[in-house]
């Protein structure tokens, strides 16, 4: 069963240490850029799906900041970093069933403040006043809980399968090579494996260069029907398949959510809907809050056996010139951190063939992943320039 909806517009604002602007401001600009990209106007919008992160103002309030009226589909959505894929799915269903015609899906955030380190931003998880059991982690010094929880997952993977820092470093170095060719990327200086190893520990076994950036900025895409998209300015990017899987975490020892992620099921569902096999995928845009996320996602999609992610990536196949181009804009490790909208934006660019010097030659099918929580939420989207 095909999906009768396509991405017709993409907007990416300036990214990174861009100070003095609000998330709403970034969101507005991203939507304006996406509309212009599509050749549409704000009046054409009748749907708005919003994904904020640390910015509370992004909740349904954004409609008022932007002055949009008479929308037929509006909501704030969050499945953490997997949200981009789940929004596209919801937008596509609404369009297919006639509930909306032109839907803007937007992510924006502005956690960085001038003169303040990332470790002291909203991402540090500083909630000293959290009452009850929520305060327990701070008594242990377990701040920045994403870093520690992914580090715990990675340590377990290293223990079970012998995964090495050389292997993780290969992912980081490869993505930096891609970022050097991306005008939107924050990190535009070359990185060697030695640089990776020399980068300081954040939470051992995570080096600084295992961790994603934090960015101020916004990304928006415009979703409309396949027919309408074909009449617009840009080549349509069809959404051929969707999949979600939130494996949960019972806190019981019988399950290992650190090792077995939702990618296995979400990928299978999305590929089945698209009528494709894993071997049909030309370009990967994988959610990369950490290098480990890329490695474990590759395993769970089935590109290699469980536990073999390290040996799979160590030949550099994900880097420019490799056999499995992955995170071709530099990803969240080296371009910008917009949750699932980072891999989505680059997926749209690659599917259209607009990647400039970083454009992958064969780009018929692009697999985009989203991941949230500590590997607790997963979404898969298959993008293509072909509608079937």
Partner 1 sequence: MTTTAAREQTTTAGPAKPVPVPDETSAPFFAGALAGRLMLLRCRACATFSSPIAYIGVPLRARCVNCFSGELEWSASSGRATLYSYVIMHQLYDKAFAAEIPYNIVLVDTEEGVRLTSQVVDCPNDQLEIGMPLEVTFERMSDEVAVPKFRPRG
Do you find a cis peptide bond into 205, omega within 30 degrees of 0? yes
Residues with Cβ < 8 Å from 266, sequence gap 6 or more? 243, 244, 245, 369, 378, 379, 380
Q: Mask 253-292, x = binds partner 1 (CB under 8 A)?
A: xx---x----------------------------------
Neighbour order of strands in the sheet with 102-109: 73-76, 47-51, 102-109, 217-224, 6-12, 237-245, 377-384, 365-372, 283-285
Nearer to partner 1, 144 or 218 (CB): 144
What is the DSSP annotation of 127-139?
-TT--GGGGHHHH
Q: Mask 49-68, x = binds partner 1 (CB under 8 A)?
A: --------------------
158-161, Cβ contacts within 8 angstroms, sequence gap of 24 or more: 158/205, 160/259, 160/307, 161/307, 161/308, 161/309, 161/310
Site for partner 1 in 220-259 (CB under 8 A): 249-254, 258
Nearer to partner 1, 108 or 258 (CB): 258
Q: Which residue from 108, 203, 221, 266 is in contact with partner 1, where contact means CB under 8 A?
A: 203
Does 72 interact with partner 1 (rule: CB under 8 A)?
no
Q: Which residue from 33, 151, 222, 283 is in contact with partner 1, where contact means CB under 8 A?
A: 151
Q: How many residues bind partner 1 (CB under 8 A)?
A: 45
Nearer to partner 1, 21 or 137 (CB): 137
Q: With contacts defined by CB under 8 A, name the span among 8-16, 67-75, 199-207, 309-317 that binds partner 1.
A: 199-207
**287 tagged catalytic:** yes
Site for partner 1 in 111-150 (CB under 8 A): 119-120, 124-126, 128-129, 131-145, 147-148
- For the chain, report the end-to-end CA distance as a whole number of angstroms: 10
| Selection from 65, 41, 7, 375 nearest residue 224 by Cα | 7
Instruction: Name the minimum Å distance from CB 254 to partner 1.
Output: 7
From 90, 150, 287, 301, active-site residue? 287
Q: Which residue from 3, 62, 108, 153 is in contact with partner 1, where contact means CB under 8 A?
A: 153
**140 tagged catalytic:** no
CA dist 202 and 221 (Å) reads 33
Contact 360, 328 (CB under 8 A): yes
Contact 308, 278 (CB under 8 A): no
Q: Which positions are annotated as active-site residues?
A: 287, 337
* Residues at the site binding partner 1, with contacts judged by CB under 8 A: 119-120, 124-126, 128-129, 131-145, 147-148, 151-153, 155-156, 159, 200-206, 249-254, 258, 373
């Amino acid at each position: 069963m095909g999906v009768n909806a396509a991405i017709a517009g993409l907007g990416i604002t300036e990214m990174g240490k861009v100070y003095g602007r609000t998330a709403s401001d970034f969101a507005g600009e991203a939507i304006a850029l996406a509309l212009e990209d599509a050749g549409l106007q704000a009046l054409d919008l009748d749907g708005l799906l919003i994904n904020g992160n640390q910015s509370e103002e992004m909740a349904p309030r954004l409609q008022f900041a932007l002055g949009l009226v008479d929308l037929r589909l509006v909501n704030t959505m969050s499945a953490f970093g997997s949200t981009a894929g789940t929004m596209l799915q919801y937008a596509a269903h609404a369009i297919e069933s006639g509930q909306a015609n032109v839907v803007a899906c937007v992510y924006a955030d502005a956690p960085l403040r001038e003169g303040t380190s990332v470790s002291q931003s909203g991402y540090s998880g500083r909630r000293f006043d959290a009452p009850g059991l929520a305060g327990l982690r701070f008594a242990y010094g377990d701040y920045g809980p994403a870093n520690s929880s992914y580090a715990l997952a990675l340590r377990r993977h290293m223990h079970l399968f012998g995964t090495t820092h050389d292997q993780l470093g290969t992912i980081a170095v490869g993505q930096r090579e891609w970022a050097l060719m991306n005008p939107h990327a924050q990190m535009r200086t070359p990185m060697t494996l030695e640089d990776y190893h020399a980068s300081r520990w954040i939470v051992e076994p995570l080096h600084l260069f295992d961790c994603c950036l934090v960015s101020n900025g916004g990304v928006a895409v415009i979703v409309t029907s396949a027919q309408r998209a074909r009449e617009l300015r840009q080549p349509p990017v069809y959404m051929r398949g969707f999949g979600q899987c939130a494996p949960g975490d019972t806190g019981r020892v019988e399950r290992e959510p650190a090792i077995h992620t939702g990618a296995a099921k979400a990928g299978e569902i999305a590929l089945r809907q698209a009528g494709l096999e894993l071997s049909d995928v030309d370009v990967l845009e994988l959610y990369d809050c950490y290098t480990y996320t890329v490695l474990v996602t590759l395993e769970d999609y089935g590109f290699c056996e469980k536990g073999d992610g390290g040996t799979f990536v160590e030949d550099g196949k994900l880097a420019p010139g490799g056999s499995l181009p992955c995170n071709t804009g530099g990803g969240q490790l080296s371009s910008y951190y917009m949750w699932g909208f980072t891999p989505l934006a680059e997926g749209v660019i690659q599917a259209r063939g607009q990647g400039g010097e970083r454009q992958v030659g064969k780009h018929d099918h692009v697999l985009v992943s989203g991941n949230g929580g500590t590997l607790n939420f997963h979404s898969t989207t298959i993008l293509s320039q072909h509608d079937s």
